[in-house]
């Protein structure tokens, strides 16, 4: 099984970059069994909309994970509740809209998805480690012991992401970090067969600060004043990973980091 995952798709720059980069990546690397994107910043940097959800589906995206910003557009809550192809972090209370885990299917292939959020430097939330223990077992009870499982761990601290990767090593196919928008260079296969990277990066404008224009952010740092963020339109690029999974074991045999500049002018 081959999975293509895009890190946080940020603003309209990221949406345009995703649309332009997917055909290029497919030409270079071939077809994929599943394409997954983190969508929590897709609507003007915060949250999601039905329109963007449908745009991603039309691009061939099979599933969308998210993080703390998925709650920023309440009008999307009904879609979170009704759609099985979009996920919010599972360690929010069960009373929150949406699902945090599930099994998606395409052309006879099945993939478990688990979306988690970290606790370090993040809003108060239940333990992602305890949640992972319960839900990985649940997914395997539904899909079989060798069900491939992809985990998007949306977290700030690299240490917490690494801890999660070792906690789940050998139990899931991949633990991929999101949230920081800065791609790390530590992709690897862990000792028991789980693919890992601390952060897949950001699909968006990289000439700026985490997807926004330099000038719109600086007042916050220099003067401590509120400011209105503006999307960076320069340096557009796709950031993500390709993960290769052994069908017989559900464990990974390879992970490749991708940084693809895209001209969206």
What's the pLDDT tens digit per position in 21-48?
999 999 999 999 999 999 999 999 999 9
Summarize pLDDT for 150-163 with one digit per residue, the tens.
Answer: 999 999 999 999 99
Summarize pLDDT for 107-150 with one digit per residue, the tens.
Answer: 999 999 999 999 999 999 999 999 999 999 999 999 999 999 99
**Residue 219's pLDDT is what?**
87
What is the pTM (predicted TM-score) of this model?
0.97
Summarize pLDDT for 173-190 with one digit per residue, the tens.
Answer: 999 999 999 999 999 999
Binning the chain into helix, strand and coil, the percentages to the nearest 5 are 30, 30, 40
Mean pLDDT over each residue of the chain, to the nearest integer: 97
**Residue 226's pLDDT is what?**
86
Mean pLDDT of 90-105: 98
pLDDT band at 225 (very low <50, low <70, confident <90, very high): confident
**Residue 10's pLDDT is what?**
97
Long-range contacts of 90-98 (CB under 8 A, 24+ apart): 90/114, 90/115, 90/116, 90/131, 90/135, 91/116, 91/117, 91/125, 91/126, 91/127, 91/128, 91/131, 92/117, 92/125, 92/126, 93/126, 96/71, 98/70
**Residue 131's pLDDT is what?**
98
Catalytic residues: 69
**Residue 129's pLDDT is what?**
98
Q: Give the percent of the chain with pLDDT over 90.
A: 94
227 has a pLDDT exceeding 90: no
**Residue 95's pLDDT is what?**
96
Q: Which residue from 208, 189, 185 is spatially nearest to 198, judged by alpha carbons?
A: 185
**Residue 64's pLDDT is what?**
98
Return the structure tokens found at 65. Answer: 């994970």
**Residue 246's pLDDT is what?**
98
**Residue 2's pLDDT is what?**
98
Mean pLDDT of 204-218: 92
């Amino acid at each position: 099984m081959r999975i293509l995952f895009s890190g946080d798709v940020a603003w309209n720059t990221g949406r345009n970059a995703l649309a332009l980069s997917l055909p290029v990546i497919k030409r270079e690397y071939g077809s994929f069994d599943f394409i997954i994107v983190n969508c929590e910043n897709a609507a003007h940097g915060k949250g999601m909309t039905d329109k963007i959800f449908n745009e991603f589906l039309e691009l061939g995206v099979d599933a969308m994970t998210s993080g703390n910003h998925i709650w920023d557009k309440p009008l999307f809550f009904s879609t979170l509740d009704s759609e099985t192809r979009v996920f919010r972090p599972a360690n929010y209370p069960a009373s929150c809209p949406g699902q945090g885990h599930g099994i998606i299917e395409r052309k006879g292939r099945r993939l478990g998805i688990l979306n988690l959020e970290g606790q370090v430097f993040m809003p108060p939330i239940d333990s992602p480690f305890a949640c992972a223990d319960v839900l990985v077992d649940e997914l395997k009870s539904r899909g079989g012991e060798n069900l491939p499982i992809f985990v998007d761990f949306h977290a700030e601290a690299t240490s917490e992401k690494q801890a999660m990767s070792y906690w789940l090593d050998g139990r899931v196919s991949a633990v991929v970090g999101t949230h920081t928008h800065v791609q790390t260079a530590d992709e690897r296969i862990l000792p028991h067969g789980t693919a890992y990277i601390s952060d897949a990066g950001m699909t968006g404008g990289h000439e700026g600060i985490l997807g926004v224009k330099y000038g719109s952010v600086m007042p916050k740092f220099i003067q401590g004043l509120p400011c209105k963020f503006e999307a960076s339109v320069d340096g557009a690029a796709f950031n993500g990973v390709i993960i290769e999974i052994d069908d017989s074991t559900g464990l990974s045999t390879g992970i490749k980091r991708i940084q693809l500049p895209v001209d969206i002018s």
